[in-house]
């Protein structure tokens, strides 16, 4: 990506480009979140089980996880305009297929096509920001991106709940078609190329190893939540994924033109913030998965009520993202991360003693507090790591960062489901041993055991958050690597002359 520097970023109108690309990212993120509350209705319409229906989200995540490592090559091979517009056309095609689907296989096919387009958009947007903005101004730009990708989950469940209560589920997809067309039209009008095409060759062996490795890992972690870690299917896929990723890593380190340049990890802040991002992603999944399960399964709230509960926190999070971006540009990521993680951990403690009488207002306040803490650290941590990379590694750094988050999301989901289900069984056995056997009492005990299992999962989240907090103390503000390397060479030259 070093040739991208040949383009004078100061002569490019950044506002229209960011507007179009953030709009595309918003649409892709919105599409990913609306499906969560639609699963129960789709199970009835298509007469399918929950295990089958989950592929609408698991399959989407799998395609994203497999595709993102290839985006580093795509961003070199194609111009910004070509890649973004192509991804939006693919997304539009998948949306149309999903809207007209009359069977589950067709709907799943549409979702997978959507994922193929959406998976390109976010790494491309992050790479454009790294190209257009100097390190000391990237925080504010990344904050605007954060607003878009957080505001989408804020309104997604609520919007989907409203649509499902008043219209057929197909309206979720029909409503996205004009939005996708608007983004494509704006792209033709306002989107400019910010990087030059590089005739890079693709290493097909790396593509195969990447696809098998990340695909098997994502699939294995996703299935572990429902089948258990001792399942032969889970063990075989995880082992296959690990072996493929080991070979993939070796291939990238010895290749002259790696598909995903893992040499980015030699930069200390990029490596540290990547590890912290794993913890942050898993912590974030607590609200995205555990809270809806508690609200809808244990407490009997509707999908709309569940979405409304999380709306204030998500909205606050989106509003704060641009503010924390500017604070990052001025003060760096260290104390923003420490304060944000401390707030997140403190408010997560409020979820480790949930009961069947915990008030709705209390849940709103605690959930909003968690989102406030997350808003302070999400974009600053990511930007701090990417800022250290030299320009030639921008595309690879964004691809690595997004891939790691996808894998962490799969790990987080399976980890929380495993903890919740295993602890629920243990609590139910304890309650059955000491309680009555009447039907009503058994029903009450099952609900109580499931709530306690969710409490235990939140306790695990607290532990992971503490690890992220401790690592945040080691964050330092660094210059871009190319500048550091130039300073080092200058010092060496001066020393030789002396």
Using an 8 Å Cβ cutoff, are 379 and 257 in contact? no
What CATH number did the domain enclosing 177 receive?
Answer: 1.20.1250.20
pLDDT band at residue 494 using 50, 70 and 90 as cut-offs: very low
Asked if 22 and 110 sit in the same domain, the reply is yes
List pLDDT tens digits, range 163-204: 887 888 889 899 999 999 999 999 998 888 776 667 767 788
Q: Report the percentage of the chain scoring pLDDT > 70.
A: 88
Mean pLDDT of 444-449: 84
pLDDT, tens digit (0-9, with 9 covering 90-100), for 208-246: 898 888 888 878 877 776 677 788 988 999 999 999 999
Determine the Cα angle at 287 with ends 284 and 292, to 5°: 150
Instruction: Kindly state whether residues 234 and 333 are assigned to the same domain.
Output: no
Q: Which of 101-110, 300-309, 449-458, 468-477 is predicted with the least confidence, judged by mean pLDDT? A: 300-309
Average pLDDT over residues 38-67: 77
Say what the pTM is.
Answer: 0.76
Same domain? For 222 and 359 the reply is no
Residue in 217, 127, 185, 174 with CA at minimum distance from that of residue 31: 174
Domain shared by 251 and 275, yes or no = no
In this prediction, residue 6 carries a pLDDT of: 42
Q: What is the pLDDT of residue 247?
A: 94
Model confidence at 10, pLDDT cuts 50, 70, 90, reads: low
| Res. 4: pLDDT tops 70 | no
pLDDT at 489 over 50: no
pLDDT reported for residue 159: 80
If asked whether residues 211 and 268 sit together in one domain, one would say no
Positive or negative CA dihedral for 277, 267, 261, 74?
Answer: positive
What's the CA angle centered on 473, arms 472 and 475, to 5 degrees? 65
Evaluate whether 380 touches 328 at the Cβ level (below 8 Å). yes
* 377, 336 contact by CB (below 8 A): yes
Q: Dihedral sign for Cα 317, 319, 321, 324, please.
A: negative
Q: Are residues 308 and 158 in contact, defined by beta-carbon separation less than 8 angstroms? A: yes
pLDDT at residue 475 is higher than 70:
yes
The answer to whether 80 touches 194, Cβ cutoff 8 Å, is yes
Instruction: Kindly state whether residues 368 and 412 are assigned to the same domain.
Output: yes
pLDDT in tens, 363-382: 999 989 998 998 888 888 98
Tell me the average pLDDT across 143-170. 77
At 102-115, the pLDDT tens digits run: 899 999 999 999 98
Which residues contact residue 229 at a Cβ distance below 8 angstroms, ignoring those fewer than 6 apart?
235, 418
Same domain for 210 and 197, yes or no, is no
Least confidently predicted of 15-29, 121-135, 484-498 = 484-498
Query: Domain containing 207: what range?
Result: 203-258
pLDDT at position 84: 92
Residue with tokens 């091979």: 77
φ, ψ for residue 159, nearest 5 deg? -65, -45
Question: Under 8 Å CB-to-CB from 307, ≥6 apart: which residues?
Answer: 37, 156, 157, 158, 159, 160, 161
Q: Are residues 180 and 158 in the same domain?
A: yes
Torsion of CA 249, 253, 257, 262, to 10 degrees: 70
Whole-angstrom distance, CA of residue 248 vs CA of residue 260: 9
In a shared domain, residues 284 and 406: yes
For residues 441 and 349, membership in a common domain is answered with yes
Q: Are 197 and 288 in a shared domain? A: no
Q: How many domains does the chain have?
A: 3
Among 240, 258, 276, the domain-final residue is 258
Q: What is the mean pLDDT of residues 307-312?
A: 80
């Amino acid at each position: 990506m070093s040739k991208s520097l040949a383009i004078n970023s100061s002569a490019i109108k950044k506002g229209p480009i960011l507007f179009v690309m953030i709009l595309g990212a918003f649409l892709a993120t919105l599409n990913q979140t609306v499906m969560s509350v639609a699963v129960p209705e789709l199970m009835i319409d298509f007469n399918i089980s929950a295990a089958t229906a989950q592929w609408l989200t698991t399959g989407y995540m799998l395609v994203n996880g497999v595709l993102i490592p290839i985006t580093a090559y795509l961003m070199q091979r194609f111009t910004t305009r070509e890649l973004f517009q192509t991804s939006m056309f693919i997304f539009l095609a998948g949306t149309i297929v999903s809207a007209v689907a009359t069977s589950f296989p067709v709907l799943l096919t549409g979702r997978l096509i959507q994922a193929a387009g959406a998976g390109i958009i976010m790494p491309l947007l992050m790479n454009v920001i790294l190209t257009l903005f100097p390190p000391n101004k990237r925080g504010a730009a990344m904050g605007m991106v954060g607003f878009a990708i957080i505001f989408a989950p804020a309104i997604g469940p609520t919007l989907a709940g409203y649509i499902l209560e008043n219209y057929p589920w197909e309206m979720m997809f029909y409503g996205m078609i004009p939005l996708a067309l608007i983004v494509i039209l704006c792209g033709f009008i306002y989107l400019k190329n910010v990087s030059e095409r590089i005739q890079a060759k693709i290493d097909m062996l790396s593509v195969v190893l990447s696809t098998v490795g990340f695909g098997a890992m994502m699939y294995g972690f996703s299935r572990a939540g429902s089948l258990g870690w001792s399942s032969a299917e889970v063990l075989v896929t995880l082992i296959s994924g690990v072996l493929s990723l080991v070979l993939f890593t070796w291939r990238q380190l010895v290749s002259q033109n790696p598909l995903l340049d893992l040499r980015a990890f030699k930069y200390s802040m990029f490596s540290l913030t990547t590890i912290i991002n794993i913890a942050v992603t898993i912590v974030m999944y607590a609200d995205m998965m555990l809270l809806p399960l508690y609200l809808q399964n244990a407490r009997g709230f509707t999908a709309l009520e569940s979405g409304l509960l999380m709306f204030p926190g998500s909205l606050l999070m989106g509003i704060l993202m641009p503010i924390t971006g500017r604070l990052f540009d001025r003060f760096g990521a260290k104390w923003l991360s420490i304060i944000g993680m401390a707030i997140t951990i403190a408010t997560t403690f409020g979820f480790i003693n949930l009961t069947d009488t915990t008030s709705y207002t209390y849940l709103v306040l605690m959930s909003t507090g968690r989102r406030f803490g997350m808003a302070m650290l999400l974009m600053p941590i990511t930007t701090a790591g990417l800022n250290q990379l030299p320009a030639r590694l921008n595309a690879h750094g964004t691809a690595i960062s997004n891939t790691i988050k996808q894998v962490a999301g799969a790990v987080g989901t399976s980890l929380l489901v495993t903890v919740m289900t295993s602890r629920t069984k243990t609590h139910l056995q304890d309650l059955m041993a000491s309680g009555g056997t009447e039907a009503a009492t058994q029903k009450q005990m099952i609900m109580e055991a499931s709530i306690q299992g969710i409490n235990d999962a939140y306790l695990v989240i607290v532990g992971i958050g503490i690890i992220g907090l401790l690592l945040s103390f080691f964050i330092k503000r660094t210059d871009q690597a190319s500048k550091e390397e130039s300073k080092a060479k200058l010092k060496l030259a001066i020393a030789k002359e002396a």
